[in-house]
Amino acid sequence: MSKDSATNTNKCSDNAIDVALMLRVGQQDEQAFEELITRHQGAVIGTIVKMLGANSDAEDIAQQVFIRIWKSAPRYKPKAKFTTFLFTITRNLVFNESRRRSRKKEYSIEEREEEFNIQSEDSGTTAPDEQLLHNELEKAVDKAINSLPEKQRLAVILRRYENMPYDEISQVVGLSISAVKSQLFRARHTLKESLQQYLDE
């Protein structure tokens, strides 16, 4: 069996487990709900942090995601992969939070600069170690991703960090597959320009 085939088989079995758990949640099975949270909480929180920033109250928003999962479980129909359903709910809450911040201007330029500050406190040293350079690059990547338009940013995060296929991203983001590929192409071009100084090094 090829590596791709094995990966697809694993994803299919993972989805079968998720669907079975979700159907049990629909019967008010709290243990199944806890298992779903354990399986997906890390990915949901990670996506929220990458979309909204480290000071995003990600755990609170993730809790809202799973509350919605619990409330919608009795009506759940496995028409698509469970992760598509999960990340669509995550998208809605993240976009709502983003719009709320934009309206109230709670996420100031100063907070962004503090949160994504590329310059390390140790940057004045003449020989920064490899870990420091790695951390600096990671922060630069986060900052570059954060500067992307909302749907581009989500598509990049789902593709880069969740290894989600194009068809599933299209359902989560609400765009056609060709539009998703176009968004990702533009995003990669933007990120390449933003990170050019690191690529040159």
DSSP the chain: --HHHHHHHHHHHHHHHHHHHHHHHTTT-HHHHHHHHHHHHHHHHHHHHHHH-TTS-HHHHHHHHHHHHHHHGGG---SS-HHHHHHHHHHHHHHHHHHHHHHHT-S-HHHHHHHT--S-TTTTSSS--HHHHHHHHHHHHHHHHHTS-HHHHHHHHHHHTS---HHHHHHHHTS-HHHHHHHHHHHHHHHHHHTHHHHH-
| Rounded (10°) CA dihedral 169, 171, 172, 173 | 80
The tally of domains found in the chain comes to 2
pLDDT digits (tens, 9 = 90+) for 83-122: 999 999 999 999 999 888 777 654 444 454 444 444 434 4
Residue 38 domain-assigned (yes or no): yes
Last residue of a domain, one of 81, 115, 149: 115
Domain carrying residue 86: 1-115
- Do the domain assignments include residue 121? no
CATH of the domain at 9: 1.10.1740.10
If asked whether residues 108 and 155 sit together in one domain, one would say: no
User: Per residue in 12-42, pLDDT tens?
Assistant: 789 999 999 999 999 999 999 999 999 999 9
